[in-house]
Amino acid sequence: MAKRGRLFVISGPAGAGKSEIVKTVLKKHPDVKLSVSCTTRAPRPGEVDGVSYHFVTEERFRQLIDEGAFYEWAHVHQNHYGTLKSAVRKELDAGNDLILEIDVQGCLQAMAQDPTVTGIFICPPSRENLEQRLRHRGTETEESIRVRLGNVAKEVAAAYQYHYVIIHQDWAVQPNALEIAADQVYAIMTARRLELDSQRDFLDGLNASLQA
């Protein structure tokens, strides 16, 4: 029987470095796939439709909700975001491990419908570090930074609901912090793949051949 892929949710407050960590994992491990979400927020400079997100109107997003097209969706930072069922099904059926880089509400929805979903929470080392990263990103307005920082306490409190917590160190303290965090994500993915339940089919076959 062909092996199904596994679903990994990566969350963390804005500015904790989730996207850079995920990008690093994907670059090093082309076998890992990333789901492209739908969003109603406007593209940031450099973001490409269909690559960063599927940028859709509020009306189209509502339509997709009504059609039951979303695996999960949520209202985050004044915009709508959602993962398409079709994208999840396609990768898992093909046997690929899939990362969803989504918020806490989305992670809880995913865990509720599939107990094999693994939740990984990316934490900043401190509040000061988080604020600094958010400002240095230069893509946010002051208003958007204020909204996002206001949500951080709630987001970090939800980390207790995840299976794993990775601390993305300050690069000034640990120059290869990004590499380390990305390697930790992949280590979790590897460990999940090697669990007894994932290896059971192989073991059954090996045992049967040894007893023949």
The residues that touch ligand 5GP, with contacts defined as CB under 6 A, are: 14, 37, 41, 72, 74, 76-77, 81-83, 101-103, 105-106
- Smaller CB distance to ligand 5GP: residue 167 or 198? 167
Q: Which helix (H) or strand (E) holds 71?
A: strand 70-76
Residue 101 near residue 123, CB atoms below 8 Å? no
Query: Distance between CA atoms of 117 and 163, rounded to whole angstroms?
Result: 9
- Closest CB to ligand 5GP among residues 21, 74: 74
CB of 13 to ligand 5GP, least distance (A): 8
Q: Among residues 159 and 198, whose Cβ is nearest to ligand 5GP?
A: 159
Complex with ligand 5GP: residue 102 or 189, whichever CB lies closer: 102
3-state secondary structure of 16: coil
Q: Residue with CB nearest ligand 5GP? A: 106
Task: With beta carbons less than 8 A apart as the criterion, state whether 144 and 35 touch.
Answer: no
Contacts of 126 by beta carbon, 8 Å cutoff, 6+ apart: 170
Closest separation in Å from C-beta 65 to ligand 5GP: 12
Q: Which helix (H) or strand (E) holds 138?
A: none
Q: Which of 155, 165, 116 is nearest to 8 (CA)?
A: 116
In the complex, minimum distance from the CB of residue 195 to ligand 5GP, in angstroms, rounded to a whole number:
26
Residue 198 in tokens? 């994932």
Task: Tell me the C-alpha distance between 100 and 37, whole Å.
Answer: 8
Q: What is the Cα–Cα distance from 46 to 163, expressed in whole angstroms? A: 33
Write down the number of H helices and E strands in the chain.
Answer: 8, 9
The distance of closest approach from Cβ of residue 76 to ligand 5GP in the complex, given in angstroms and rounded to an integer, is 4
Tokens 């120059």 label which residue?
Answer: 175
* Nearest residue (CB) to ligand 5GP, 76 versus 156: 76
By beta-carbon proximity to ligand 5GP, the closer residue of 158 and 178 is 158
